[in-house]
Each structure stands twice: as C-alpha cells, then as structure tokens.
Amino acid sequence: MVGIGFRKEFSETLPRVRKDKPDFIEFAPENWMKTGGYYHRQLQKAAEQYPIFCHGLSLSIGSPDEPDWDFLADLKQFFKDVPVVRYSDHISFSQVSNAHLYELLPLPMIEEAVSRIAVKARQVQDFLERPLILENPSYYLVTEADMTEADFISAVLRESGCGFLLDVNNVYVNSVNHGYDPAAFLRSLPAEQVSYLHIAGHLKQPDGFLLDTHGEAIADPVYDLLKLTLETLSREVPILLERDFNIPAWPRLREEMNRIRRIQTEVREVQFAS
C-alpha cells in the first residue's frame, strides 16, 4: 500500500484519479475537524474513495501538560464522523502551559520524558478507545540526553506500547545532521512495532545541514534507506508520501509513488525468492 498526504492543493484532482491511484490518504485532523464548506466537501469526496489515516500535529505527547481533553473530545467526535483507519502523532512536544506553538519541538532524551509519554499515551488511547501510533521526528537540537536517540525511541515504544510510525526521511535527515549511521540506527529500532512508514523530501542547506521540509522530491539516499527498511522489516507495511509545500503537479507525485511501489515489489520478490 502506498498513500499520499491529502492536501487542499490537489483535493479536486484526487477523487478523479484513475491511473495509479494512491491506496490511502492521510491528513492532519486538526486542519479538518470542526470545519465545513468547500474543503470539507472535497474531503468527503476523497473519503468515499480512499481509506483514511490521520496524522496529528498537536497531541504534544511529551510535554508535562495534561492532555488537552477538549481537543481529544473533538478528535473522538471527528473519528466518529470520518472513517479513520489509523491515528498517529509525533514523539515531540508542541504545547506548554496550555499554549500551542504549532511546531514539533524536540524532547530531551531522558527517562522522565519516556515515562511522561507512557502515561499520556495510555490516557489518550483510553479516552479515544483506539490505538495511538507514534512517529520518530526529525530534530535540530539535542538538549539533555541520558541515552541515544535509538534507545530513547525504543524506550518510548516499549513503555507506551504504542505502534511505531517510522519516518525514513527523518532517520536520514537526523543521521546527516547528528552524524550517525542510518542503517545501524534502523536495525536497532523495534521492527515488530512498526505500523507504517513515512517518506518525504528534505532541503539541503549550503553548509550540508538538512531541513525536513516536505517541500522537495524524495532524495535518492532516502529511497535507498526505504529499501533497507523494507528488507529489515521483511513484511509489508503501508508507506505514505508526505508532501506539504512546493506541491508539484499530480504526475510528479504519481512518479514518486510509483518509484516507492517499485521498491516495494523488488524487495517482496527478493524475499519471496529466498
């Protein structure tokens, strides 16, 4: 299964796509809940044709704040109105003292953050009555760290019992920016908890630093890392192409989805043969 992030820019195109259709769509529930009008109608049309994954931005699972119960109540209602198959958010924080910052900020990689996430994840899942999936984020700053990133993510997933949304581009971006081997990193993550994958483009700065923009085409090394990920997983999981900015014409996105599909097929055939 290969899906695409649902964007207003191609919301009119998507319901009309016949050739190489995405297998599912994903969007941030915050941008669509409690709305009506034109884009809501486009969403309804798309929802009639495509399975829906929701990928949240404002759960702020790692911040010391209590869960935002009003938001969760709205979310629960939204999940009743729209047939959402999977719900994910990020291992990060975006809200402090009941004020949102609308950016995914990096958590200190410390035991206290692990336990906080475990407690909040349980509260969220109990309230929503559905599993929560958590994504490894990209990050540009390490504040305090008592463990490696791989150990931190593994601990979060172990303690919370959440599903794992493995973002391959984030692994690549972080490996370049923080100087580690992405393959070794991948192998140290709990493969059995992976629920689905994200892949996206990033922007290379003149000094070589990478920004996780979702505004460019997927880079070749990220495709290579996707292949390695699929080989490591040795089972099929859905893969979602994220494209949030500089959105190109549909055929370009279709090409990227097809390249992902070819990698999926290639890995599947090799595994089948052996």
Partner 1 sequence: MHPDRLSRITGGMAGFIRTGVYPEGFPESWQPGLTLYRTLTRSILSDMVDTAFPICKRRIPETVWNDLTELFIRECPLHSPRLWEIAGNFAEFHRNENTGVRLGYPWLDDCLNMEWIELELFNRPDQPGWKFKAPTGRTGEKVSLIPDHELLVLNYPVFRTAGPGLKPETCFLLLFRDPVSLTVQFINLQPVGALAAECLRNEPGSCEDITDRIYKLAGISPDRDAMTRLFTLFRSKNLLTRISKEKQ
113-140 residues labelled b (16+ CB within 10 A) or e (exposed): bbebbbebbeebbeeeebebbbbbbbbe
Task: Between 46 and 91, name the residue whose CB sits nearer to Fe ion.
Answer: 91
Q: How far is the CB of 212 from Fe ion (least distance, A)?
A: 8
What is the CA angle 48-268-212, rounded to 5?
A: 65
Q: Report the alpha-carbon distance of residue 120 to residue 114 in Å, rounded.
A: 10
- Strand 93-96 vs strand 84-90: parallel, antiparallel, or unpaired? unpaired
Contacts of 16 (CB under 8 A, 6+ apart): none
Applying CB under 5 A, which of residues 30, 89, 167, 212 lies at the interface with Fe ion?
167
Q: Report the alpha-carbon distance of residue 249 to residue 6 in Å, rounded.
A: 14
Stretch that binds Fe ion, among 34-42, 153-161, 194-202, 222-230 (CB under 5 A): 194-202
Residues in contact with Fe ion, shown as a per-residue x/- string from 197 to 216 under the rule CB under 5 A = -x------------------
Task: Between 36 and 179, name the residue whose CB sits nearer to partner 1.
Answer: 36
Binding site for partner 1 (CB under 8 A): 30-31, 33-41, 57-58, 62-64, 68, 71, 93, 95-103, 105, 107-108, 110-113, 116, 140-144
What six digits make up the tokens of 59? Answer: 């759960």
Q: How far is the CB of 267 from partner 1 (least distance, A)?
A: 34
Answer with the entry of Fe ion, partner 1, none that 107 interacts with (C-beta below 5 to 8 A by kind). Answer: partner 1
